[in-house]
């Protein structure tokens, strides 16, 4: 399959990319790793007239802690995330997710910025971003903007990014003492999109009481979903097996899966229940280490 | 139709060509350069038959625009044997019967080069995850894993200084 005709443009700086997008207008799309967009173009699900290649822009690929924040550059590839020592040591939730995302060759191209900016609830990173309460930094014709993750996902393939905006950085509150996160997704086969997935990030005080919790769900709603009811329920409590059972029940009730090739609605609700339990337990175990 | 002049190094040789924006790298390699060792399987970045190395990293060339490879250093299956001597992975696939029909083999080998570069001594499980983006429809995975194990061992021995 060959994509429909388009014109390729290479941007070497952020300013050049944004200017090109302003010039070319609505029919231009940015491409970073290209492993979501190009398959869609080959299938004619997407037929942009112009592609602006942002993969060669320097300085947007990094993982670092800076003051109270973990900062990840938008062009950081999934492979770079997989092999990063800081993430392996302090943010193991990323390793959980990247290991299950596509396959190693795809991860060599795919970027974290693209995974989020694509706005697909089937992608893995959005659930992590919800659980970790990320802030998305974007730059566009109106300058720089900070978008809280809860305001980022608008609908199927729709996000708060406007024409010309490039997702440049992800900011996440730095890992605190007694905090832990975990992610898992059920997949039909290696490299598949999630049948359902659950990301959990939990913070405890010295007495073991949950002070903050984030729960994000993958591919069980049109928009990447936060389990608000479960978070509010656990916050301020010492987490017990009985409470975990209740939150898992809430997750299976509140998610909005549709029956499709990956399973029936009932099956997906059941998976969400089980995975919520497992990920809460795994995150707790890591928080207590 | 927009044309672009691209220059890249393929298997050590510099290649310059004028290509369309939409020309996929696998088509450029197979049709323009007539190197048909890189295969097209699923054409949807699932099967890995088209795997090549771009600047040392394994990439599925069916999902990569030729224009994006401007300036890149590319290696295909044709470029890994040195002066008629098989690459250790090629030899290992031969020794261990790591192929049935052979269609997936170039992709398996190119992927394994990247894997062994990052993890010279992988466990069996790491090998199986490492080639998870490469499908063998003959299902000959056991011997593929054995081949990669043999090559890993040999490549490590090659690296170690002889006493």
Mention the CATH class of domain A179-288.
alpha beta
pTM for the model stands at 0.96
Q: List the one residue out of B48, B71, B72 whose CA is nearest residue B61.
A: B48
What are the helix (H) ranges across A25-111?
A: 37-42, 78-83, 85-90, 92-99, 104-109
CATH 3.30.465.10 holds for A63-173: yes
**Would you call B22 an interface residue with chain A, using a CB distance cutoff of 8 Å?**
yes
Enter the tokens of residue B37: 């060792």
Is residue B160's pLDDT more than 80? no
pLDDT of residue B2: 85
pLDDT of residue B162: 60
Q: Which residues of A touch B (CB under 8 A)?
A: 1-8, 10, 34-35, 38-39, 42, 51, 53, 55, 79, 83, 99, 102-106, 108-109, 190-191
Which domains are seen in chain B, by residue range? 3-79 (3.10.20.30), 88-157 (1.10.150.120)
Domain ranges of chain A: 7-53, 63-173, 179-288
CATH 3.30.43.10 holds for A7-53: yes
Q: Which residues of chain A have pLDDT under 50?
A: none
Is residue B163's pLDDT more than 70? no
Which distant-in-sequence residues (6+ apart) come within 8 Å of A170 by Cβ?
Answer: A71, A72, A74, A112, A113, A116, A129, A134, A135, A136, A137
Residues of B with CB below 8 A from A39's CB? Answer: 44-45, 63
The predicted complex's ipTM stands at: 0.96
Nearest to B132 among A3, A8, A191 (CB): A191
- CA of A246 vs chain B CAs: smallest distance (Å): 35
Distance (Å) of CA A42 to CA A4, A38, B101: 7, 6, 28
Give tens-digit pLDDT for B104-144: 999 999 999 999 999 999 999 999 999 999 999 999 999 99
Give tens-digit pLDDT for A82-95: 999 999 999 999 99
The residue in chain B having the minimum alpha-carbon distance to the alpha carbon of residue A56 is: B68
Residue showing tokens 């992610």: A183
Interchain pair B22, A191: CB under 8 A: no
Is residue B1's pLDDT more than 90? no
Interchain pair B64, A38: CB under 8 A: yes
The residue in chain A having the minimum alpha-carbon distance to the alpha carbon of residue B2 is: A7
Average pLDDT for B47-55: 98
* Residue ranges of E strands in chain B: 3-10, 13-20, 51-54, 57-60, 73-75
pLDDT of residue B159: 82
């Amino acid at each position: 399959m060959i994509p429909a005709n388009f014109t390729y443009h290479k941007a070497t700086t952020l300013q050049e990319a944004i200017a090109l997008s302003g010039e070319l207008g609505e029919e231009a799309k940015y491409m970073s790793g290209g492993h979501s967009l190009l398959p869609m173009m080959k299938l004619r699900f997407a037929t942009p007239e112009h592609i602006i290649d942002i993969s060669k822009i320097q300085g947007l690929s990094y993982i670092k802690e800076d003051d109270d924040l973990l900062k990840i550059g938008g062009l950081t590839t999934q492979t770079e995330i997989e092999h990063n020592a800081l993430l392996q040591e302090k943010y193991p939730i990323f390793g959980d997710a990247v290991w299950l995302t596509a396959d190693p060759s795809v991860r060599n191209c795919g970027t974290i910025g693209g995974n989020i900016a694509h706005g697909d609830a089937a992608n893995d990173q959005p659930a992590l971003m919800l659980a970790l309460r990320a802030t998305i930094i974007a730059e566009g014709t109106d300058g720089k903007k900070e978008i809280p993750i809860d305001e980022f996902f608008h609908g199927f393939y729709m996000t708060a990014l406007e024409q010309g905006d490039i997702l440049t950085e992800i900011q996440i509150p730095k890992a605190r003492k007694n905090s832990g996160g975990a992610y898992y997704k059920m997949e039909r086969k290696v490299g598949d999109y999630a049948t359902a997935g659950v990301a959990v990030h939990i913070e405890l005080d010295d007495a073991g009481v949950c002070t903050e919790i984030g729960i994000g769900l993958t591919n069980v709603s049109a928009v990447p979903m936060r389990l608000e009811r479960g978070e509010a329920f656990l916050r301020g409590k010492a987490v017990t097996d009985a409470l975990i059972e209740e939150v898992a029940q809430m997750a299976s009730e509140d998610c909005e899966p549709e029956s499709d090739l990956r399973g029936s609605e009932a099956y997906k609700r059941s998976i969400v229940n089980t995975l919520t339990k497992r990920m809460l337990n795994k995150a707790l175990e890591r928080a207590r280490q | 139709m927009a044309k672009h002049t691209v220059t890249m190094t393929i298997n050590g040789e510099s290649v310059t060509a004028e290509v369309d924006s939409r020309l996929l790298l696998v088509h450029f390699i197979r049709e323009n350069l007539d190197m048909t060792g890189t295969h097209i399987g699923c054409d949807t970045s699932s099967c890995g038959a088209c795997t090549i190395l771009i600047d040392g990293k394994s990439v599925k060339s069916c999902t990569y625009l030729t224009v994006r490879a401007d300036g890149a250093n590319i290696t295909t299956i044709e470029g890994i044997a040195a002066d008629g001597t098989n690459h250790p992975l090629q030899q290992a696939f031969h020794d261990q019967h790591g192929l049935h029909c052979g269609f997936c083999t170039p992709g398996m080998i190119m992927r394994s080069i990247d894997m062994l570069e990052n993890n010279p001594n992988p466990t069996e499980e790491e090998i199986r995850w490492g080639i998870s983006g490469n499908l063998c429809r003959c299902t000959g995975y056991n011997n593929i894993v054995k081949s990669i194990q043999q090559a890993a061992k040999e490549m490590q021995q090659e690296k170690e200084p002889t006493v």
